[in-house]
Amino acid sequence: MCAAKIDPNKPGFDVSAALDCAHASALAYAAADDPTKAAELAGSWGLTGLEPLPHEPQFGIALRAGQRVIVAFRGTTKTVHWRTNLNFLPKKTPWGLAHRGFVNAAGLFWPDLRDRIAGQPGQASDLFLTGHSLGAAIAVLTAAMVAREDGRHVPGVITFGQPPVAWGSFNRAFEDHFGSSYVRFVHDRDGVAEHPWARFEHVHADRYLKYIDVNDDLWEGWPLLRAFADAAKAPGKYGGLEMFKTHGMHHYIGALDAFASSARGS
């Protein structure tokens, strides 16, 4: 796939859905600390009905963005989460081998989410799954559970700073089922998203990738030359440790906010 910069003035990329999911992913962190303040912040972003989904040691939220029902999962915030991240021995799933810690984390939410989804009529056509970092991995594996065990179509699996979660047969099955409904955002030097966790792989690495460069421009696919240039520029912009600093959820929101503003012509 040849990478190309995304033009905000041309149709084809739903920045509204991406920004709603980015905001929801940030709120998954905030709601764990103070649900009331998180609900107020959600309202300022046009999101309503925030409901915490605590499943210790993990945490998520459900909320609405218009007709969209968004379930967002929190990333790493506690020492115990590193036990999940580092539990990378493969675990068998119906679609193939996947990261054991991430599979187990998604499994904590599944009984609750299965009951919630079963209560929705039709094909869950308004359900979006999202998250940042560890939460992004949980979103991918939860989407697979919905597909396998409930059989419904999920129109949006949108992740930010997502580590790779599985190997060959799982990734092929995921791609066959979700296709372009899956979108993976990676900020230029994000070391978590591109770390080769025990040689796990991303689902068709370039096809579903939205790359955010050091100038916060969005690209379809992995722009190799741009990435080399970003590697040279990033230390000056971020002041070192850029592989960790660019992982922050606020960088993803900032880039999408800028893109949305350009699309509106402001």
pLDDT over 70 at 56, yes or no: yes
**Arithmetic mean of pLDDT, 130-146:** 96
Q: What is the CATH number of the domain that holds 144?
A: 3.40.50.1820
* Entry pTM: 0.93
Average pLDDT over residues 65-73: 94
Percent of the chain with pLDDT over 70: 92
Residue 182 · residue 157 · CB < 8 Å: yes
Residue with tokens 């409904």: 181
How far apart are alpha carbons 254 and 241 in whole angstroms?
19
DSSP state of 241: -
Tokens 């080399």 belong to residue = 228
Share of the chain above pLDDT 90, in %: 61
Q: pLDDT value at position 265?
A: 66
Residues 166-173 have a mean pLDDT of: 90
The pLDDT value recorded for residue 141 is: 96
**Residue range 54-59: mean pLDDT, rounded:** 96
Kindly list the distances between the CA atom of residue 79 and the CA atoms of 9, 29, 197, 244, in Å, as whole numbers in the listed order.
43, 15, 18, 17
pLDDT at 123: 44
Q: Rounded distance, CA 115 to CA 52, Å?
A: 16
CA dihedral angle for residue 68, residue 125, residue 150, residue 96, rounded to 10 degrees = -80
Q: Please state, in angstroms and rounded to a whole number, the distance separating the CA atoms of residues 66 and 28.
A: 18
Q: Is the pLDDT of residue 197 over 50?
A: yes
What is residue 166's DSSP assignment?
A: B
Residues forming beta bridges with residue 218, ordered by sequence position: 212
If you average pLDDT over residues 111-134, what whole number do you get? 80
- Reply yes or no on whether the pLDDT at 244 is more than 80: yes
In the prediction, which pLDDT does 107 show? 96
Q: Domain containing 231: what range?
A: 4-264
pLDDT in tens, 35-44: 999 999 999 9
Q: Tokens representing 4?
A: 């190309």
Q: Chain-wide mean pLDDT for the chain?
A: 89
Count of structural domains, the chain: 1
201 or 178: whose pLDDT is higher? 178
The answer to whether 115 and 58 are in contact (CB under 8 A) is no
Q: How confident is the model at residue 204 (pLDDT cuts 50, 70, 90)?
A: low
Neighbours of 14 (CB within 10 A): 12
In this structure, the number of other CB atoms found within 10 A of the CB of residue 62 comes to: 18
Mean pLDDT calculated for residue range 155-160? 95
- pLDDT, residue 79, reads 92
- Reply yes or no on whether the pLDDT at 205 is more than 60: no
